[in-house]
């Protein structure tokens, strides 16, 4: 297959933005029938490169060859005309419309609805992507929505399909299904560009990997011949950071949730049903599950942003369901929210003022007055302890990179001496170095006897970090089980909501050994 001329070739492509160089001198060659990985950390320039190929942004330098002919792609419509399809990381579907209506809107020349529905069914059967054309999108899970996006691309008979981080919203089983579909497409001659930072997936699926680092080409390799470590080294430029996890006996229960019910606050949200959960001193409990299954709601009910029946949430023995966020903080609850900019920190304020957001009762204020020197000292302490890269404690929060801001927020909450720590997506969009530091900080908290609850979409992370794990699916929480006694398969099954019967599936292997090694 390598003998055919490349279907797409990029030569020396570059793109710069006011603050960053997103791409610099990138070469990329994708052959027909090839599954080609573009691998890199967040901010390495993967998305920009794909947007250049798809005609969303224009490159500053370089040329693009399609079937050996030079092309300039000015718009997504033009890209589609050439036969390029793209499935975005964040879907662009209208919630209130049906599948067929959504797809019709995305096509340049849509056929009549009945005909379109027939085509949708045809393609979905052919590629094993079950989709009902007349279902409204808001009733669908994220995995189903992704299928709609893929079907939409397939209807245009693409010759090159770009998938941007497609598995972040899928259960492990659904990932395998998706891989089958992609392999099938490739076998039919379609080229696939697969963007990801998940090393194992790439080794499993892709024929070639182009690795980007800081907007530059770090190398092009055959991922099947690489190890996890060698790929990671190529991606981040140094060895994968390691940390130690040791078994530890948990202490008394610090946070307990009993029969928590919470109606959804918006029409497309998820209602929580009968959540039962306990987090003890000195343990990390992980909540796995795909976003949109009630994570937001659970976090807001635990943090106090939404209140519930008083006796459904207990914090250190106090019925806290009716307490607001500030009152729960007085009981020792600290919270690192998923949204860093805008929730965890005020974008336009300095880091030192941002400490006041949650630290106002820790000596940072006196009789309603702000103690600026104390604020600055505290901010400097966070910056030093957590190696936050920034222009000092007076730097504006929005000037920090995602990883550094996350280190700052985790640092702030950690140094505010928590008894219970609530963390959402601790390392989402954070570079590997910062992620290691943040995970180590959470482990340190656990070892100091803090009760830590981590809600994350990153299953690998949860398997590495947590002592016990549960899965949130469709607003219901699975039983909490010791992480070492479970398997990826079981968690995957639970993610699809199949834990109602409570029959534990015997662990077929022990993946935890691998992750904790």
Partner 1 sequence: MLRLEPRPEPSRQMMFASPLMAAVLMLVSGYVIFSIMGQPPLYAFYIFFIDPLTSLYGIGEWLLKATPLILCGIGLAIGFRARVWNIGADGQLTIGAIAGGGVALYFQGVNAFWLLPLVLLAGVAGGMAWAAVPAFLRTRFNTSEILVSLMLVYVSYLLLRYLVNGPWRDPFGFNFPQSAMFHEAAMLPLLFDGLRTNAAFILALLLVVLAWFFCQKMTAGFRMQVSGEAPAAAAYAGFSDKRNVWLALLISGGSAGLAGVAEVAGPLGQLQPAVSSGYGFAAIIVAFVGRLHPLGVLLASLLMSLLYLGGEAAQLELGLPSAITGLFQGLLLFYLLAADLFIHFRLKKVQPPAAEAPATSSTTSPSEAV
Q: Contact with partner 1 (CB under 8 A): which of 342, 392, 479, 482?
A: 342
Considering the rule CB under 8 A, would residue 25 count as an interface residue with partner 1?
no
Q: Give me the phi and psi of 218, to 5 degrees please.
A: -100, -20
Quick one: which of 187, 83, 182, 97 has its CA closest to 134?
A: 97
Restricting to residues 257-316, name those near partner 1 by CB under 8 A: 303-305
Considering the rule CB under 8 A, would residue 11 count as an interface residue with partner 1?
no
Give the single-character DSSP code of 414.
Answer: H
User: How far apart, in Å, do the first and last CA atoms of the chain sit?
Assistant: 38
Distance in Å, CB of 231 to partner 1, minimum: 22
* Coil, strand or helix at 279: strand
Q: Which stretch binds partner 1 (CB under 8 A): 18-26, 247-255, 432-440, 506-514?
A: 18-26
What is the Cβ-side half-sphere exposure of residue 349, based on CA atoms within 13 angstroms?
Answer: 16
Sequence-ordered strand ranges (E) for 414-467: 420-424, 451-455
Q: Which stretch binds partner 1 (CB under 8 A): 29-37, 138-146, 325-333, 464-472?
A: 325-333
Considering the rule CB under 8 A, would residue 436 count as an interface residue with partner 1?
no
Considering the rule CB under 8 A, would residue 187 count as an interface residue with partner 1?
no
Considering the rule CB under 8 A, would residue 48 count as an interface residue with partner 1?
yes
What CA–CA distance (Å, rounded) separates 70 from 87? 24
In the structure encoding, which two tokens stand for residue 88, read together?
Answer: 């975005």
Contacts of 479 (CB under 8 A, 6+ apart): 470, 499, 502
Considering the rule CB under 8 A, would residue 353 count as an interface residue with partner 1?
yes
Q: Which is nearer to partner 1, 59 or 117 (CB)?
A: 59
In the structure encoding, which two tokens stand for residue 369, read together?
Answer: 């007055």
Q: Which stretch binds partner 1 (CB under 8 A): 49-57, 253-261, 476-484, 503-511?
A: 49-57
Restricting to residues 446-485, name those near partner 1 by CB under 8 A: none
Q: Could you give the C-alpha distances from 154 to 95, 158, 178, 181, 366, in angstroms and in order?
A: 21, 6, 14, 11, 63
Considering the rule CB under 8 A, would residue 440 count as an interface residue with partner 1?
no
Considering the rule CB under 8 A, would residue 517 count as an interface residue with partner 1?
no
Q: Contact with partner 1 (CB under 8 A): which of 47, 167, 406, 490?
A: 47
* Coil, strand or helix at 508: coil
Q: Which stretch binds partner 1 (CB under 8 A): 29-37, 50-58, 279-287, 502-510?
A: 50-58
Restricting to residues 363-382, name those near partner 1 by CB under 8 A: 365, 368-370
Sheet bearing 208-213, strands edge to edge: 84-87, 160-164, 191-196, 35-39, 208-213, 216-221
Q: Which is nearer to partner 1, 259 or 265 (CB)?
A: 265
Q: Which stretch binds partner 1 (CB under 8 A): 229-237, 241-249, 287-295, 362-370?
A: 362-370
Q: Contact with partner 1 (CB under 8 A): which of 14, 332, 344, 411?
A: 344
Distance in Å, CB of 429 to partner 1, minimum: 11
Confirm if 439 and 446 have CB atoms less than 8 A apart.
no
Considering the rule CB under 8 A, would residue 337 count as an interface residue with partner 1?
yes
Contacts of 19 (CB under 8 A, 6+ apart): none
Quick one: which of 181, 83, 173, 179 has its CA closest to 131?
A: 181
Q: Which is nearer to partner 1, 265 or 508 (CB)?
A: 265
Q: Contact with partner 1 (CB under 8 A): which of 191, 295, 355, 358?
A: 358
What CA–CA distance (Å, rounded) separates 159 from 191? 6
Q: Which stretch binds partner 1 (CB under 8 A): 72-80, 125-133, 448-456, 484-492?
A: 72-80
Size of the site for partner 1 (CB under 8 A): 51
Burial class (CB in 10 A: 0-12, 13-18, 19+), 238: exposed
Q: Could you give the C-alpha distances from 442 to 110, 187, 351, in angstroms and in order?
A: 51, 44, 21
Q: Contact with partner 1 (CB under 8 A): which of 271, 278, 357, 436?
A: 357
What CA–CA distance (Å, rounded) separates 364 from 355? 8
| Alpha helix stretches (DSSP H) within 127-222 | 142-155, 172-187, 199-205
Considering the rule CB under 8 A, would residue 80 count as an interface residue with partner 1?
no
Q: Which is nearer to partner 1, 415 or 498 (CB)?
A: 415
Confirm if 499 and 471 have CB atoms less than 8 A apart.
yes
Considering the rule CB under 8 A, would residue 419 count as an interface residue with partner 1?
no
Considering the rule CB under 8 A, would residue 360 count as an interface residue with partner 1?
yes
Distance in Å, CB of 238 to partner 1, minimum: 21
Residue where the block lists tokens 């000015």: 74
Distance in Å, CB of 330 to partner 1, minimum: 10
Restricting to residues 104-133, name those near partner 1 by CB under 8 A: none
Please, what is the angle between helix 172-187 and helix 142-155, to 10°? 10
Residue where the block lists tokens 């606050």: 265
Q: Which is nearer to partner 1, 50 or 472 (CB)?
A: 50
Distance in Å, CB of 347 to partner 1, minimum: 7
Considering the rule CB under 8 A, would residue 399 count as an interface residue with partner 1?
yes
Considering the rule CB under 8 A, would residue 1 count as an interface residue with partner 1?
no
Q: Which stretch binds partner 1 (CB under 8 A): 40-48, 119-127, 249-257, 451-459?
A: 40-48
Considering the rule CB under 8 A, would residue 411 count as an interface residue with partner 1?
no
- For partner 1, the binding residues (CB under 8 A) are 15, 17-20, 22, 43, 45, 47-48, 51, 55-58, 72, 74-76, 303-305, 324-329, 335, 337, 339, 342-349, 353, 356-358, 360, 365, 368-370, 396, 398-399
């Amino acid at each position: 297959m390598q003998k055919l001329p490349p279907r797409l070739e990029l030569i020396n492509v570059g793109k710069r933005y006011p603050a960053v160089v997103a791409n610099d001198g990138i070469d990329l060659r994708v052959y027909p029938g090839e599954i080609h990985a573009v691998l890199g950390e967040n901010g390495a320039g993967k998305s920009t490169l794909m947007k250049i190929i798809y005609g969303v942004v224009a490159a500053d330098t370089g040329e693009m060859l399609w079937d050996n002919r030079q092309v300039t792609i000015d718009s997504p419509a033009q890209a589609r005309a050439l036969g390029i399809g793209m499935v975005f990381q964040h879907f662009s579907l209208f919630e209130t419309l049906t599948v067929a209506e959504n797809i019709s809107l995305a096509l340049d020349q849509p056929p009549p609805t009945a005909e379109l529905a027939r085509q949708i069914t045809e393609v979905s059967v052919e590629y094993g992507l079950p989709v009902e054309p007349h279902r409204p999108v808001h009733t669908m899970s994220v995995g189903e929505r992704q299928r709609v996006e893929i079907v939409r691309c397939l209807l245009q008979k693409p010759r090159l399909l770009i998938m941007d981080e497609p598995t972040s919203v899928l259960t492990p089983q659904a990932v395998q299904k998706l891989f089958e579909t992609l392999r099938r497409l490739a076998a039919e001659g379609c080229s696939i560009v697969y963007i990801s930072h998940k090393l194992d997936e790439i080794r499993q699926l892709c024929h070639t990997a182009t690795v980007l680092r800081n907007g530059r080409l770090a190398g092009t390799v055959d991922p099947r011949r690489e190890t996890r470590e060698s790929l990671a080294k190529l991606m981040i430029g140094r060895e994968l950071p390691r940390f130690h996890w040791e078994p530890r006996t948990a202490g008394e229960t610090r946070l307990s949730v009993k029969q928590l019910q919470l109606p959804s606050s918006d029409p497309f949200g998820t209602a929580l049903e009968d959540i039962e959960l306990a987090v003890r001193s000195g343990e990390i409990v992980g909540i796995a599950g795909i976003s949109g299954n009630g994570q937001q709601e659970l976090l807001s009910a635990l943090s106090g942003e939404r209140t519930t029946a008083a006796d459904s949430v207990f914090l250190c023995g106090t019925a806290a369901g009716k307490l607001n966020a500030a009152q729960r903080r007085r009981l020792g609850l600290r919270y690192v929210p998923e949204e860093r900019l805008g929730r965890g920190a005020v974008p336009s304020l300095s880091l030192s003022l941002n400490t006041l957001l949650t630290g106002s009762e820790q000596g940072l204020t006196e009789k309603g007055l702000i103690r600026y020197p104390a604020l600055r000292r505290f901010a400097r302490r966070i910056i030093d302890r957590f190696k936050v890269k920034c222009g000092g404690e007076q730097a504006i929060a929005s000037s920090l990179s995602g990883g550094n801001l996350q280190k700052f927020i985790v640092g702030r909450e950690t140094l505010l001496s928590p008894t219970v720590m609530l963390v959402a997506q601790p390392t989402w969009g954070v570079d590997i170095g910062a992620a290691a530091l943040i995970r180590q900080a959470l482990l340190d908290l656990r070892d100091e006897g803090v009760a830590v609850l981590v809600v994350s979409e990153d299953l690998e992370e949860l398997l590495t970090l947590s002592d016990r794990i549960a899965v949130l699916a469709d607003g219901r929480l699975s039983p909490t089980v010791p992480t070492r006694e479970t398997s990826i398969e079981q968690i995957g099954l639970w993610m699809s909501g199949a834990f109602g019967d409570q029959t534990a599936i015997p662990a077929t292997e022990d993946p935890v050994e691998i992750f904790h090694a």
